[in-house]
Chains A and B, each alone.
Chain A
Amino acid sequence: TQTVSQSDAHVTVFEGDSVELRCNYSYGGSIYLSWYIQHHGRGLQFLLKYYSGNPVVQGVNGFEAEFSKSDSSFHLRKASVHWSDSAVYFCAVSAYNNAGAKLTFGGGTRLTVRP
């Protein structure tokens, strides 16, 4: 069974600040991890994913995430946020093999960027 925990339900920062959104997971096998963004009333947009190689992965719009096996984490970061980054961010885990393709999502973190 795979589980995903996003410890912060809400994060508020000012435009131009850096931000880190936390994600921790538990799963016994090989996995791939991803982040999605959901603007109000919209579907989810894929940001980035990791399954092997360089633990720091780059995504769209200046987002990056870092995988840590020792911490079972996959935190999302952005160096300088824009007001348009205000949205709900979801971390997701999936089994990296043919046994399963379902995404298991965390509860989401609502990011509010103040001007």
Chain B
Amino acid sequence: DPKIIQKPKYLVAVTGSEKILICEQYLGHNAMYWYRQSAKKPLEFMFSYSYQKLMDNQTASSRFQPQSSKKNHLDLQITALKPDDSATYFCASSQHWGDEQYFGPGTRLTVL
């Protein structure tokens, strides 16, 4: 059974629209993260949360907003989508902040 669920697996959006990427982990972990992987750049860290508190934000744009409604959820809202936002977005979690991280299968976002 998958322990980190990301929904949807594939997502196509039009420029200027807004989407929410879902992440749920069932590992009992206390820290969650978002990373982005695109064809042009290596895997990039975006956010980290610990006990639902934002710990680190390395995303320059405020168009990316993480949302944590529960300890095991960390969704990613992206507004005013641009073609450059096209990438695979990975959610990860760790037992505690700083421990080894385990990754979900990713959501592949294409912005037309």
Q: Could you give, for residues 30-72 of chain A, a 1 whenever the CB lies within 8 Å of some chain B CB and a 0 otherwise?
A: 0000101000001111100100000000000000000000000
Contact-size category for A: 20 to 34
Give A45-102 interface residues, CB cut-off 8 Å to B. 45-46, 49, 90, 94, 96-98, 100-102
Query: How many interface contacts (CB-CB < 8 Å) are there between A and B?
Result: 56
Which residue of chain A has the shortest Cβ distance to B55 in the bound complex?
A101
Q: Which of B4, B31, B43, B106 contacts A101 (CB 8 A)?
A: B31
The total of chain B residues at the interface (CB under 8 A) is 25
Q: Is the interface of B mostly helix, strand, loop or mixed?
A: strand
- Closest Cβ of chain B to A34, distance in Å, is 6
Q: Could you give, for residues 1-39 of chain A, a 1 whenever the CB lies within 8 Å of some chain B CB and a 0 otherwise?
A: 000000000000000000000000000000000101000
Residues of B near A49 (CB, < 8 A) are 100
The interface-forming segment of B61-69, B78-86, B90-98 is B90-98
Asked if B106 and A43 make an inter-chain contact with CB atoms under 8 angstroms apart, the answer reads yes
Q: How far is the CA of A93 from the CA of B50 in the complex (A)?
A: 19
Q: What 14 new A-B contacts, CB under 8 Å, besides A43-B4, A43-B104, A90-B43?
A: A42-B106, A43-B90, A46-B101, A94-B98, A98-B98, A100-B56, A101-B55, A101-B56, A102-B48, A102-B58, A103-B33, A103-B43, A103-B101, A105-B42
